[in-house]
A and B are shown apart, each in its own frame.
Chain A
Amino acid sequence: AQKITQTQPGMFVQEKEAVTLDCTYDTSDPSYGLFWYKQPSSGEMIFLIYQGSYDQQNATEGRYSLNFQKARKSANLVISASQLGDSAMYFCAMREWNGGGADGLTFGKGTHLIIQP
């Protein structure tokens, strides 16, 4: 089973609208972290936001917020007031602290977000 599932291969959104990018995850480890990265067409990976499994509040970073629903194992990224520069690939990733496997991030396949003027 996939550990990170992003069900939206692509999305078109009007500029200034809010965007929700879906991410569900699968783990039996009670200690884990969820990350979102942005990859613009230039190719670099840009860290956006982090949520720890024990964090009581949803993470926020400027226009980015993470809608963390632990019981549903979902960690959706919300971008408020979208801008043309938000057009990019977005990846959800997870790190399991006590998984016993390799240290490192497990990535989803990504969502290609296009902001239209």
Chain B
Amino acid sequence: NAGVTQTPKFRILKIGQSMTLQCAQDMNHNYMYWYRQDPGMGLKLIYYSVGAGITDKGEVPNGYNVSRSTTEDFPLRLELAAPSQTSVYFCASRGGGGQPQHFGDGTRLSIL
């Protein structure tokens, strides 16, 4: 009963490096999301997807890219990492209608 699985849990990057944060869900949910949480703040939406092959921008998409080739996976790519991208990243998924979003445990990312 894995739910939403995020890898890695922690990562330190140097400025200018790139990386992909992985997210997988086993609940057959069409809707998937990426959020970031800065210290002392609520979560902000980066990108979302309403199904395989369909993605769209959220509130804070700059510096990130996503893809959704399968229902299960929704990776988040950081190109040219910047210190401002130091944050905790959460992936979430939900079923249809008013179903709540289920979150992964988060990835703590530091850019130095």
Contact = CB atoms under 8 A, between A and B. Distances in A.
Contacts, number: 58
Contact of B31 (A52, A91, A103, A107): A103
Contacts of B92: 45
A99 to B, nearest CB: 12
Interface in B52-111: 56-59, 88, 90, 92, 98, 100-103, 105-106, 108
B45 A109 contact: no
B56 A102 contact: yes
A104 B101 CA distance: 9
Interface residues of A, number: 21
Binding site secondary structure of chain B: strand
Nearest to A42: B105
A109 B33 contact: no
Interface in A46-104: 47, 50, 52, 91, 93, 102-104
A52 B97 CA distance: 11
Contact of B48 (A43, A102, A110): A102
Contact of A102 (B41, B43, B59, B106): B59
A66 to B, nearest CB: 13
A91 to B, nearest CB: 5
B103 A45 contact: yes
Kindly list the 10 A-B residue pairs having the minimum CB-CB distance in the complex, ordered from nearest. A107-B42, A45-B103, A104-B45, A47-B100, A102-B58, A107-B43, A44-B105, A104-B48, A33-B98, A109-B42
5 contacts: A45-B43, A50-B98, A91-B42, A105-B43, A109-B42
Interface of A: 4, 33, 35, 37, 43-45, 47, 50, 52, 91, 93, 102-110
